[in-house]
């Protein structure tokens, strides 16, 4: 199958050499060799067939809020799930959600229906698929604890369903089988008092907005919190707040956020990450582990 044939076959879109900057919250990143937007599961099967036939690497993209895409871009097929593969329905003990659905839309649905469990994610950007893969969490809640099961397709085009207890959720991580693309999930949510759930969501959002630079371009927390202390505290103690490499800066509001001041490059972010790690290593003898995922080919 040629690129033109794939393009005709799909209900969704596919493009060549498209910059990924506008598909990431950092606003950074070079082009994808191919960028596909499946409209549904059948599109996804055809896209994976094509990528297999061409021997292309795959990158699954949700809302790109936990990614640092290198300036050289991604030399393979990027599959963006947030254009199709959406939808929210009531299901036994909770809801069924398309993996490309925005977490914010799921929260709004829950607030409207009086369902409890999603309110800790108020203010966290991302798709449900990305939130499961990264086991997103805040205010004591974690995505993994809500997952009853997922449906997904692997790189060989085989469909499978896995229970939440098979996904090995850990701190900002999961053991999702390599190359499995989640297309749908079933979340376990309790019935609750609508006003109380709304109040909790509002409170969480308010606290997040006060302590994080939500209006600037970033990928959330850069580093995971080591057991010794929050990464932000360690960075602050080594004078990291406000540190700058050209157009990227450690946020003066939250030391574990690096923000794009406009016109930044991924290389600048990587340089600032190295400098912060070096300072923390020298001062405390520990190496900060990345929470953000770096993707792309060789520079």
Q: Which residues of this chain interact with ligand FAD, rule CB under 6 A?
A: 25, 60-67, 81, 99, 124-127, 129-131, 133-134, 136-138, 172, 181-182, 214, 218-220, 293
Kind of pairing, strands 13-19 and 31-37? antiparallel
CA distance 95 to 247: 42
3-state helix, strand, coil in the chain (%, to 5): 30, 30, 40
Tokens in use for 91? 């299901």
Cα(128)–Cα(66) distance, integer angstroms? 13
Nearest Cα to Cα of residue 81 among 128, 120, 49: 128
Comparison of 12 and 137: residue with beta carbon closer to ligand FAD = 137
Rounded Cα gap, residues 198 and 127, in angstroms: 21
CB of 2 to ligand FAD, least distance (A): 26
Between 24 and 279, whose beta carbon lies closer to ligand FAD? 24
As measured in angstroms, the least distance from the Cβ of 174 to ligand FAD is 9
List, in sequence order, every residue forming a beta bridge with 141; answer none if it has no partner. Answer: 138
Least distance between ligand FAD and beta carbon 193 (Å): 24
Cβ proximity to ligand FAD: between 46 and 66 the closer is 66
Closest CA to 94 of 77, 72, 110: 110
Closest CB 216 distance from ligand FAD, rounded Å: 8
Nearer to ligand FAD, 138 or 286 (CB): 138
Whether the CB-CB separation of 183 and 41 falls below 8 Å is answered with yes
In angstroms, give the least distance from the CB of 5 to ligand FAD: 25
DSSP 56: -
Nearer to ligand FAD, 30 or 137 (CB): 137
Q: Which is nearer to ligand FAD, 85 or 276 (CB)?
A: 85
CA distance 89 to 275: 46
Q: Measured from the CB of residue 274, what is the shortest distance to ligand FAD in angstroms? A: 21
Give the shortest CB-156-to-ligand FAD separation in angstroms.
Answer: 15
Is the distance from CB of 12 to CB of 84 less than 8 angstroms? yes
- Choice between 118 and 131, CB closer to ligand FAD: 131
Q: Is 186 helix (H, G, I), strand (E, B) or coil?
A: strand
């Amino acid at each position: 199958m040629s690129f033109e044939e794939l393009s005709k076959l799909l209900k969704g879109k596919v493009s060549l050499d498209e910059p990924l900057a506008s598909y990431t919250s950092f606003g950074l990143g070079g082009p994808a060799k191919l960028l596909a937007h499946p409209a549904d599961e059948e599109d996804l099967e055809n896209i994976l067939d094509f990528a297999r036939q061409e021997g292309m690497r795959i990158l699954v993209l949700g809302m790109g809020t936990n990614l640092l895409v290198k300036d050289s871009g991604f030399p393979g097929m990027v599959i963006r799930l947030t254009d199709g593969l959406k939808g929210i329905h009531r299901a036994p003990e909770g809801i069924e959600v398309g993996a490309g659905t925005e977490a914010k839309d799921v929260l709004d649905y829950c607030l409207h229906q009086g369902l409890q469990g999603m309110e800790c994610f108020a203010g966290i950007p991302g798709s449900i698929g990305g939130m499961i893969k990264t086991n997103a969490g805040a205010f004591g809640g974690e995505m993994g604890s809500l997952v009853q099961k997922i449906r997904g397709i692997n790189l060989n085009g085989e469909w499978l369903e896995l229970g939440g207890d098979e996904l090995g959720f850990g701190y900002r991580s999961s053991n999702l089988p390599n190359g499995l693309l989640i297309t749908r999930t079933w979340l376990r949510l309790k019935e609750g008092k609508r006003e109380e759930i709304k109040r909790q969501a509002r409170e969480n959002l308010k606290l997040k907005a006060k302590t994080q630079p939500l209006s600037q371009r970033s990928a959330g927390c850069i580093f995971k919190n080591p057991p010794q202390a929050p990464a932000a505290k360690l960075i602050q103690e080594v004078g990291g707040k406000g540190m700058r490499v050209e157009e990227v800066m450690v946020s003066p509001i939250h030391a574990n956020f690096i923000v794009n001041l406009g016109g930044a490059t991924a290389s600048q972010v990587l340089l600032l990450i190295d400098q912060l790690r070096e300072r923390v290593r020298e001062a405390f003898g520990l190496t900060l582990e990345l929470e953000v995922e770096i993707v792309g080919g060789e520079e």
